[in-house]
Amino acid sequence: MSENADSTGTAAHAARTSTAADSAAARPEWTPVSRPSTHELVIEAIEEQIMSGTLTVGDPLPAERELASKLGVSRASVREALRVLESLGVIRSSGGSGRGAGTFIASLPSEALTRVLRLHVALANFSVGEVIESRVQLERSSAALASARVTEDALAQLNASLAIMDTPGISLEVFNDADTAFHVAIAQATGNQLFSDLTGAIRNSLRRPILAAFRDVDDPAALMAALQKQHHAIRDAIAAGDGARAAQLTEEHIHTAAEALPALTDL
């Protein structure tokens, strides 16, 4: 209870210590002086290079031992920092020697977003209802924008996912993954990478709960067929450039799925 609260950061100005009796107005106000741990300092050092543009995607980092000695810290601290950056999808490490060996600035934001959302959904920091509401708003926007910008290539992507889901006798997992791919493809059709990464992350963060909830459905095949019918309608609306209709259909589609899987929102 009461944890997080402000979260969102920003503040940094509000006096955290309430100092109820403000009679002592001109008190020195000793702030507890936060002492950043060593690995955080290493992260900051690397982050600074990234922020200033000195390091960009594809660039190599110094070897761990070298970095450690340059920064005057132990290799263990450097490694902890690198693991953090790796989990954030910012670097990639491989062993060996010569070409391709070492640590490099990378670009894998999607996995990082997925992991964050998945864990915090599991921890119930975000309720499934909230996530679904976000998904509705996000994908409504995607559908509308995609309708205005869709290309031949993007349409082909949509059709490929639809074809998989049209295959008879398909397994639940395969259907669900193709379903995800379909919605991600719509987001990708907007040309906005953040849209598609967020869409994928939200969808993947619900993968396990969705599959679990699906097993409680009476007639899974019928539900899949119904959803697939809506998929086709959405595809048609996007292909026709009818953004308003695509957005509306997308919202109805997501609500259909959510209501057909009551076990989901019970979480």
Partner DNA sequence: ACATCTATGAGGTCAGACCATTAATCTGAG
Partner DNA sequence: CTCAGATTAATGGTCTGACCTCATAGATGT
Give the residues lining the site for DNA (CB under 7 A). 37-39, 61, 63-66, 72-77, 79-80, 82, 93-103
Kindly give the pairing relationship between strand 91-94 and strand 102-105. antiparallel
CB 261 within 8 A of CB 217: yes
Q: Does 196 bind a second copy (CB under 8 A)?
A: yes
Nearer to a second copy, 50 or 239 (CB): 50
CB 265 within 8 A of CB 128: yes
Task: Pick the binder of a second copy from 36, 101, 148, 160 (CB under 8 A).
Answer: 160
Two tokens at 167?
């295959």
CA geometry: angle 217, 252, 244, nearest 5 deg: 160
Q: Counting beta carbons within 10 angstroms of the beta carbon of residue 179, is it exposed (0 to 12), middle (13 to 18) or buried (19 or more)?
A: buried
Q: Does 222 bind a second copy (CB under 8 A)?
A: no
Smallest gap, in angstroms, from Cβ of residue 75 to DNA?
A: 5
Residues in the chain: 267
Task: Pick the binder of a second copy from 174, 211, 222, 225 (CB under 8 A).
Answer: 174
Two tokens at 82?
């690198």
String marking each residue 115-154 x if it binds a second copy according to CB under 8 A = xx--xx-xxxxxx--xx-xx--xx-xx-------------
Nearer to DNA, 40 or 166 (CB): 40
Residue 145: in which H helix or E strand, if any?
Answer: helix 128-149
Binding at 9: pick from DNA, a second copy, none (beta carbon under 5-8 Å per type): a second copy
CA geometry: angle 179, 88, 212, nearest 5 deg: 35
Rounded Cα–Cα distance for residues 56 and 80 (Å)? 21
Binding at 84: pick from a second copy, DNA, none (beta carbon under 5-8 Å per type): a second copy
Task: Pick the binder of a second copy from 36, 100, 107, 255 (CB under 8 A).
Answer: 107
Smallest gap, in angstroms, from Cβ of residue 218 to a second copy?
A: 26
Smallest gap, in angstroms, from Cβ of residue 122 to a second copy?
A: 5
Rounded Cα–Cα distance for residues 4 and 48 (Å)? 27
Nearer to a second copy, 219 or 266 (CB): 266
Distances 51 to 38, 56, 83, 241, 265 between C-alpha atoms, Å: 20, 9, 19, 39, 40
Q: Locate tokens 């490490």: which residue? A: 93
Smallest gap, in angstroms, from Cβ of residue 8 to a second copy?
A: 4
String marking each residue 78-97 x if it binds a second copy according to CB under 8 A = -xxx-xx-xxxxx-------
String marking each residue 18-57 x if it binds a second copy according to CB under 8 A = ---------------------x-------x--xx-x--xx
Nearer to DNA, 92 or 115 (CB): 92
